[in-house]
Structure 1
C-alpha cells in the first residue's frame, strides 16, 4: 500500500452548548493583526473558530465535566504555559486535563494504542509522528466531529491543510515556532565590536573573527533523550531550504530526493563549516554537543567571559532562558537575528513548526478541548506568557506579544518570503529518527558523511512504505 498523501504547506458560534460555545467567542480586535500579516506572507486564505458538531452528555447544565487525558512532550516552563492556557477552559466547562509528559512520544503512544488504551488527545511535534497511526485507522478524523467551516474564518488554508492526510483533517495546530534563529548577548557583541551579520559571508567572517580573538563562535546542544539529535537537524533543514530552495526541500521530505543527492549532501557540508574542522568552532567540542541538553545550550552566552557568542535555536527557546539562574532579560542580555541566507536566490526562507493536537479517542471533552485551543483566547494566553510561541489564530494581535524580542520574532514571520514546515516533523517516524541519529554521528565524525548518507538512503527506501 502507498503512503497517505500529506497536504503540502504553501461569526456566531454554532454549538448548542453555551459552556463550550459562546464562552470562547472573541470579537475581532481593531487594527492590523500579526496573523493577518502572517497569512499574507504564507499566502493563506481566511476562515473561523473551530466549532463542535455535538455537545455529548453536557445537556443544559452549562458544565460538561469529565477529564481529557493528554499525551505530549512538554515539561517545565512549556508545561506551565499549557496549564495556564487550559485553566479558563477547565473553569468554564468543568473538564479537567490529565497530562502525561514523555520525550519518547512515538514509543509510548504506540504502546498505549496497541494496549487499547490511547490518550484522548495527543500533542505531537508534527503530523509525521502520527502517519502510521493514521494508516492503521487509529486516529479520529475531525471533519465529521468538528464544524470545520468555522475553523476557516480564523485560520489560513495552509495551516488547515497541514493537518490533513489524504484530504481528511486529523490534526489541529494551535501554536507555531520559528526556526533558524541565532541568539546572542548584545553586551558581549558590543564589548568586542562585533556586528550582527546580514549575509552568509558576513556570518563566516564573524565566526572566524571570534576564533582569532580566542573565543568560541557557537554553543551547540544536541541531547534530548530519545529525540537526541533534533537540534542539529534544525540547522540542516534550514540550510537545505535556504541553499537548495523549496522545490528540493519538498521533494526531500516527501522521500523523492535521496539523502546522498548533491543538494542534501551540500547542506550537511555547509553545517560542517559552522561546526568547524574537529568541532573547532564549538564550545566544548563533540563531547559537549552530544551531552548537553538542548534547553541548556544557551547558558554559555551568559557566562563571564562568554563560553560562546552565538546559539542557534527556535523561537521557543526563550522559555528555557527564563529558567536560567540568573534569569536573563530579553533585549538586554539576549537578542536574536535570523540565520542569514545561504543562497540569495532563496532570500527570506524560513522553517516553521507547530504543536499538532490529534484526537486519539473521540469524547465530547476532547472535542471541546480542540475547539477551545483554536480560539484567540487560548492562543493569546500562551503568547502573552512569552516562550517564543507564535499564534496561528489571526485575531491575536502583534501588540499582545510581551516584549521587543517576541514582537521581532513575529516580524521575522511577516518578512518571510519562503515558508516551509519542519521537514523532520513531516517525515515518517522511522526516517525522522534515523535523521536525528545521523546528526549525532556527523557531529562526532564529519569524515563519515558518505556512509551516513548511504544509511539514510536505505532507511528512506523502506520508511515511506505502508506499515
Structure 2
C-alpha cells in the first residue's frame, strides 16, 4: 500500500544516513542495547475472594440465644442466610431479655452460641464457655481493645458482633451553613461554638430527658462523653468497677459542664437525617462509648465453629453491614454499609482510639437508678454535692 511503501522509503533514507555517519565516525566501544520497558505495569494481583467455610457442619443444627426480636431478629436471619444456604445449617434460636432464663439455660442446656449485650456472662460462666480462638474466631479482623473487652484470666471468651456508638453530636447542616458555623474538632472549639450560638440568639442544644422509668439515661450518656473528654476511658472504667467514687471531683466537674448546657430551654423537632440534622463525633473524647452485643460460645461443635468463623470473617462482616444491623466491630465490614448514617458512624467507630461500655449498661441496677436520679435532681435544681453523694452511696452499696 502507498502509506507503508512511503514509510519504508523514508525509513531506508534514515538508515542509510545513519550508516554513513557510522562509517565516518571513530570506532567506539559498542553500548549495550537497552532492554525495552513495558509500556504498562502488570495489573495488580487480586486476592482470592473469601469463601464460606462450613467446618464440616453441613446439615448440622446450631442453637443460639439472644435478646433480639422483631426487626432485629429479621436482620440477624438475613446476615446468616448465606451461611445457612451454603452449608444447610439449621439455626435454632431462642429470644429472651431475662437474665434468669440465660442462667437456667447456661447451667442446664446451654446454647451453642450466645449473643448478649453485656460481657457479664463470661465472668459468670467462665468454666462453661469455649475459647473463641479454638472455635474459629478470627482476631485479626478486630481492634485489640475489642478483644481485651472480651478477655478474662487470659482467655478470649467474647467478641462483639454488633455495636452502636453514642459519642456523637447530632447537628443541622442547613443551620450550620446558614450561620457560618464549622464542625468543631476540639472540645474548646465546641465550647466556643456553643457560646457563639447563644450570642447569635440560637438554641445550641436539644436534649430529651423524660423516658418513663428510665428517665435520666440520656443525661448519663452525655455525662459519660464529657468524662471521656475530661478524664479519659480508664476513669470511666474505674467508676464502673467502683474504684472511683461517684462523688469524685472529676464526676462533679463533668456534671457542672453538662449542667451549664442542660438547664437551657430545649426542644426536639421532627426532622430528617441528612437534611435537617447530622452528627459529628464528640471532639476530644479519648475513645467512644456505646453498647455492643457480644458473641460467646458454649459449644465447640462443627456448627458452632462454622457460625463463629462466619460472623468473625469477611463474608459475615460484609453481610452484617449490608443488612444494616447497626455497626459491626469487624473491620471487614467497612465499605459494605449502604445506609448513610451507618456509613458515617462506621467511619467514626473505625477511627476511635478505644471503646468503653455505657456506664448505665454496665453497673448494677441500684447504682444505675441512683445515677439517673442524681442527673434529674441536679437539672431540677438539687444541690450537686448532695445529688452525687446519694449516687456514690448507692455505688458503694451495689459494688461492695
The 2-side partners of 1:256 and 1:415 are apart by 29
Q: By how many angstroms is 1:448 displaced?
A: 4.3
Larger gyration radius, structure 1 or structure 2: 2
The 2-side partners of 1:155 and 1:375 are apart by 10
Q: By how many angstroms is 1:273 displaced?
A: 1.9
Q: By how many angstroms is 1:51 displaced?
A: 9.0
- Map of 2:398 onto structure 1: 463
Deviations 1:313-372 (A, max 9, x none): xxxxxxxxxxxxxxx454x4442212233xxxxx65433543212346777655543332
Report if the CA contact (8 A) 1:141-1:169 is conserved.
Answer: no
Deviations 1:143-176 (A, max 9, x none): 2x75267523333433222112223333221133
Report if the CA contact (8 A) 1:172-1:357 is conserved.
Answer: yes
1:94 and 2:98 correspond: no
Q: 306, 322, 343: which one pairs with 1:384?
A: 322
Q: By how many angstroms is 1:182 displaced?
A: 1.0
- Map of 2:34 onto structure 1: none
- Map of 2:165 onto structure 1: 178
Report if the CA contact (8 A) 1:49-1:154 is conserved.
Answer: no
The 1-side partners of 2:372 and 2:223 are apart by 13
1:374 and 2:307 correspond: no
Alignment of 1:59-458 (within 5 A): 62-64=58-60, 66=61, 68-73=63-68, 75-76=70-71, 78-92=72-86, 93-100=88-95, 102=97, 105-106=98-99, 109=102, 112-113=104-105, 121-128=113-120, 130=121, 134-135=123-124, 137=125, 140-143=128-131, 147=134, 151-208=138-195, 210=197, 216-222=203-209, 229-276=216-263, 280-283=264-267, 300=269, 302=271, 328=272, 330=274, 332-341=275-284, 349-359=287-297, 365-386=303-324, 388-389=326-327, 391-396=328-333, 398-402=334-338, 405-416=341-352, 418-424=353-359, 427-430=362-365, 433-434=368-369, 437-438=372-373, 441-442=376-377, 445-458=380-393
**Comparing 249-258 with 267-276, which one deviates more in the overlay?**
249-258
RMSD: 4.0
| Structure 2 unaligned residues grouped into runs of 5+ | 1-45
State the SS of the aligned residue for 1:382: helix
Deviations 1:369-395 (A, max 9, x none): 333221221221222244651x33333
Q: TM-score, normalised by structure 1?
A: 0.62
- Map of 1:316 onto structure 2: none
Report if the CA contact (8 A) 2:137-2:312 is conserved.
Answer: no
State the SS of the aligned residue for 2:332: coil
Deviations 1:440-461 (A, max 9, x none): 6346535243333223323333
| Structure 1 unaligned residues grouped into runs of 5+ | 1-26, 31-47, 284-298, 303-327, 342-346
The 1-side partners of 2:65 and 2:73 are apart by 12
Deviations 1:6-28 (A, max 9, x none): xxxxxxxxxxxxxxxxxxxxx96
The 2-side partners of 1:362 and 1:453 are apart by 46
